Amino acid sequence: MVKLRLKRCGRKQRAVYRIVAIDVRSRREGKDLKKVGFYDPMKNQTYLNVPVILYFLKKGAQPTGTVQNLLKKAEVFKELPSNQMKFN
């Protein structure tokens, strides 16, 4: 199964996260399938590649809790049909 999850980058005490589509069995820093955005919590910046995120969500990818909150804030779920908005 594929998940949309955060992958930590940056230096000590100054974390920046990439939002990636990755296999569930991979570690946090493991090989990702596709980079779909990034999140900088210090500057509160978010960049999302919405068409790619929608593609993975339609294929059944499950976002983690934090990624789901970021996607809700960016109103990505409004572009999905209502029958595909069931996440675990």
Residue 63 sits in a domain of what CATH number? 3.30.1320.10
Residue 11 lies in a domain: yes
Residue 49's contacts (CB-CB under 8 Å, 6 or more residues apart) are 35, 36, 37
Helices (H), 1-88: 50-58, 65-73
Q: How many domains does the chain have?
A: 1
Q: Flag whether 13 is in a domain.
A: yes
Residue 21 has pLDDT above 90, yes or no: yes
pLDDT in tens, 29-76: 778 899 999 999 999 999 999 999 999 998 989 999 999 999 999 888
**84 pLDDT higher than 70:** no
In the numeric block, which tokens belong to residue 18? 């990439």
Task: Determine if the pTM surpasses 0.85.
Answer: no
| Structural domain span for residue 32 | 1-82
72-86 average pLDDT score:
75
Question: Residue 10: phi, psi to the nearest 5?
Answer: 90, -170
24: in domain: yes
